[in-house]
Amino acid sequence: MLSFRILLLFIGGCLAAVSLRGAPPARASEVARFRESVRRVLSKREARGADWGILVADQRTGRTLYAHDASRFFTPASNAKLFTSSLALAVLGPDYRWHTTLETSGHVAADGTLEGNLVLVGRGDPNLSNRVFPYNGVKEQTDGPPEVVIANLVAQLAAKGIKRIHGDAVADDSYFTYERYPPGWSVDDMTADYGAPVSAIVIDDNTMEIDVTPGARPGDPTTIQVLPFAAFYHFRNDVTTAAAGAPAQVSIAREPDSLDVTLTGQVPVGEPPSQEYLAIEQPARYAAALLKHLLVAQGIAVTGDTRVEHLLPDQTPGKTPARQVLAEHVSPPLGEALRYILKVSQNLHAECLLRTVAHVRTGVGSLQNGLALEQEFLTQLGIEKDVVFFDGSGLSRYDLVTPRAVVKLLRWDARQSWWPVLYNALPVAGQDGTLQDRMGGTPAEGRVVAKTGTLEHDNSLSGYVTTLSGRRLVFSMFVNNDPPHAHLTPFMDKIAEAMVEDFGRGRPRRRANRNRRGAARTAPNRVH
């Protein structure tokens, strides 16, 4: 821990030592023009009903160019991932890799019998899936079935000549403490893919894909296909086939910790299957069941049952049992994983980052330890009083952040050796990630590189801007408590576009033919 403190004291000192006197001042006309642009946006009827926080600063000098309630607290939504990502890069570095193994404390006999339990040991790799890296930010590519990583581990086992296991198939997720849901997550999130529970074992994002196919005629029952492993849950399908042209509406219901899942709704005749996603509420238990299933499918008999090994929040880790590694999977580097996390705003993966930092630094991958390390990190940056976090992803409704804290963090990031990794992982306006359908066809396209954030009634956008003249700005913008049915994302985009044009050192604003593909916000949408 001491080396971490020394590192942060050094970089914090570097941040404080930057002089603002040598920075070329923004023209008064630029500042006035931008202020007028924001005034016009915030004076709109829909915008007036919400709470706004905005800060725009020169990236190099930190000089404030515009501030509106920049020291007030706002719900950050997924802008919290900026803090988690910065912490992970500072502690782990962009080349960090996760290791997932099959291990045993037993022995393998000459006839291929493993006398003992087979243990799947997870260490927080968020990409135990068929996802292909590097992620290009536009379309996710996959290769093989969703369970391909676990299947490959089993194949390694078979290649060693193991034919049967006299023991249990065990899933060990004790690398993280058993805290599936951080404080402030809603019960409404528990079945959704964006609310998948946290575990040190993450198979295909701890979700199942459910494809609902309509029947031949209206009123006919539908059929479902579940990937990757349907047998873990008991499915009741009450979805019916609707007339052609009717909307597809499928709802998924599951009581907490129940294995019974009910699907209701309708899918129109003649349409392709409706693709739904269900969060797996007990990831380790699911992993153990899937492991046994894949072993048997590989021709390896298992005489025992399935079990899990957790580390409860009130427990201290015991002595690690002496186990030999029989198979291993090594993840892509953190820098590549981060590109996926920030481009698509993956909540579970961000939570894995925070707990991985906690385990690497303290030996216990708990939420409490992760947040404590983050608070220490923020203290060294001088923003600890401007940030309150209860999770690593921003899905918690208890999180609070000021725009001033975000801008200071982003300016510090820009002076680190790994900053290009973070910068290239952020969504780009009009081009990729969660900004792919925003600001396209405007001067802001390709010039606004920023993290989005969306909860019901809360929106955020923070990152970097390159003006028309090439000037670099850093900004943070929050909108909280927006009125019902308000669509404020276009208003936020207008302000971002104004940054690009108004601080362009005297260049006249041009009216572009705007292609507003993503102007209307879909609600509820809690993953960005």
Residue 402 lies in a domain: yes
Q: Taking the model in full, what pTM does it have?
A: 0.90
For 340-397, the pLDDT digits (tens) are 999 999 999 999 999 999 999 999 999 999 999 999 999 999 999 999 999 999 999 9
CB neighbours (10 Å) of residue 37? 19
> Which tops the pLDDT comparison, 317 or 512?
317
Residue 471 lies in a domain: yes
pLDDT reported for residue 505: 61
The answer to whether residue 35 sits within a structural domain is yes
Q: CB-based contacts of 467: which residues, under 8 Å, 6+ apart?
A: 447, 473, 499, 500, 501, 503, 504, 505
Residue 335 lies in a domain: no
pLDDT tens track for 306-342: 999 999 998 988 887 789 999 999 999 999 999 999 9
| Upstream peptide bond of 228 is cis (omega within 30 degrees of 0) | yes
Q: Is residue 74 part of a domain?
A: yes
Domain for residue 395, yes or no? yes
Q: Mean of the per-residue pLDDT values for the chain?
A: 91
Residue 409 maps to a domain: yes
The sheet with strand 260-268 has its strands ordered as 234-242, 260-268, 249-253
- Alpha-carbon torsion 280, 284, 285, 286, what sign? positive
Residue 157 lies in a domain: no
Query: pLDDT, tens digit, for every residue of 108-156?
Result: 999 999 999 999 999 999 999 999 999 999 989 999 999 999 999 999 9
- Position 83 confidence tier, pLDDT thresholds 50, 70, 90: very high
Overall number of domains in the chain = 2
Domain boundary among 256, 279, 302: 279
Structural domain including 255 reads: 204-279
CATH number for the domain including 484?
3.40.710.10
